[in-house]
Amino acid sequence: MDKPDRKKGNARRSPKPPPHWRDDIESVLISPESLARRVQSLARQIEKDFIGRDLVIVALLNGTVVFLADLLRGLSLPLRLDFIGVSSYGISTGSDELVFTKELRLDVRGRDVLLVDDILDTGKTLARVTANLRQLGPRRIKICVLLDKPSRRVEKIEPDYVGFTIPNHFVVGYGLDYAERYRNLPFVGVLRPEIYEQPDSTSEKKASAPGR
């Protein structure tokens, strides 16, 4: 993998979230303004690195949708877009089994691939997805993540483009969810522990647990 771009944003916890979210969200970690500035900066760097290349952007569903939309609007170079669906299932807040729910449709053989995800923590998901992509014969693969949580890493995988490096908080918003909630928050916020520590045996919540 190519050497990562080290010009990363550093997330700083902001004031409390809007009143109607305070029962669930402990604090705002990254503001909408900081997100917008950093995503535009990432787009400029990616455009510079991939100019003149046969680029395919491969995004992981579903958490990337908001980040991806803003990132794409900042790119003016020709590209193709496709998606891979993955779900993590486990008995706790860790990932025990990774299931592919959507396979890649485009042919990436001989092309440059930019793999986009919302968050990288343990690295289990991206390690598995990257290994699968390599079998398809791309020219090279680079990884772009909105959030990097290096304190949780268990796999030897590093992103090439990082929006923000964050501490070990359970974060939601700007596409990231818990039990399919909070994706529409315009900021990245820290979820209160009492929300995700509630006993629940449904597969919906298991699939949304951290551990990626």
Place of tokens 């029962």: 23
Distance CA 125, CA 142 (A): 15
Neighbours of 30 (CB within 10 A): 25
Distance CA 140, CA 138 (A): 5
**Can you read off the two tokens belonging to residue 4?**
């990562």
- The answer to whether 121 is a known catalytic residue is yes
Place of tokens 């680079």: 142
Name the catalytic one among 24, 112, 117, 121. Answer: 121
Q: What does the angle CA 180 – CA 118 – CA 40 come to, to the nearest 5 degrees?
A: 125
* Active-site amino acid positions: 121
